[in-house]
């Protein structure tokens, strides 16, 4: 399998693990709101307020919005820049596997500061897939746009804080004007 970010093997094993995880999550008793759900809910609420969402479906670890936009949300609880995000090998494989079928958006929830949103193609420009976890860092000075850095580089353009609210209305593969 060749993908824009390269090739990762063992996809069958990962798919079995994901299915097992979904089964556990579906049967687990619900208690208090988990931290991850709190942050993801806040990010989705920001989108809902735009009036552009017609449907939301959760397919672990993604949210499918309007049946055609696949969103992977990562969160950091840190109060100030820099924020760090880890992409596990299973997430990397699932991103690659869904690239042909959906427009993929990565949303980095930077504590209570906002969401840095960019395309999967942009993600591929700053990471090299592999069998180990990948770390991405996000920086933002007060009143500025987000700078996103990965193991093999940084995004060529800074990401506008308002990019997140526009993800459902944009097409293309850039960072800001054409997400």
CATH number of the domain where residue 102 is located: 3.40.1350
pTM: 0.80
Read off the pLDDT of residues 67-79 as tens digits, 9 standing for 90 and up: 999 999 999 999 8
131: domain range?
A: 11-166
Per-residue pLDDT tens digits for 19-67: 766 666 666 666 788 999 999 999 999 999 998 899 999 999 999 999 9
SS3 annotation, the chain: CCECCECCCCHHHHHHHHHHHHHHHHHCCCCCCCHHHHHHHHHHHHHHCCCCCCCEEEECCEEEECCCEEEEEEEECCCCCCEEEEECHHHHHHHHHHCCCCEEEEEEEECCCEEEEEEHHHHHCCCCCCCCCEEEEEECCCCCCEEEEECCEECCCCECHHHHHHCCCCCCCCCCCCC
Q: What is the pLDDT of residues 131-145, one digit of tens each?
A: 899 999 999 998 999
- Tell me whether residue 5 is in a domain: no
Total number of domains constituting the chain: 1
Q: Residue 6 falls within a domain, yes or no?
A: no
């Amino acid at each position: 399998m060749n993908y824009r970010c390269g090739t990762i093997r063992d996809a069958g094993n990962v798919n079995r693990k994901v299915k097992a995880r979904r089964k556990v999550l579906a049967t687990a008793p619900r208690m208090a709101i988990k931290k991850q759900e709190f942050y993801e809910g806040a990010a989705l609420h920001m989108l809902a307020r735009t009036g552009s969402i017609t449907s939301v479906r959760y397919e672990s670890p993604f949210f499918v919005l309007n049946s055609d936009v696949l969103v992977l949300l990562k969160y950091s609880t840190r109060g100030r820049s820099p924020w760090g995000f880890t992409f596990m090998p299973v997430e990397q494989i699932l991103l690659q596997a869904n690239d042909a079928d959906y427009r993929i958006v990565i949303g980095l929830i930077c504590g209570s500061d906002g969401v840095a949103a960019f395309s999967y193609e942009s993600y591929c420009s700053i990471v090299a897939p592999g069998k180990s976890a990948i770390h991405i860092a996000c920086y933002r000075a007060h009143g500025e746009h987000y700078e996103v850095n990965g193991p093999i580089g940084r995004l060529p353009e800074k990401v506008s804080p308002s990019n997140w609210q526009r993800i459902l209305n944009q097409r293309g593969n850039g960072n800001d004007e054409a997400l």
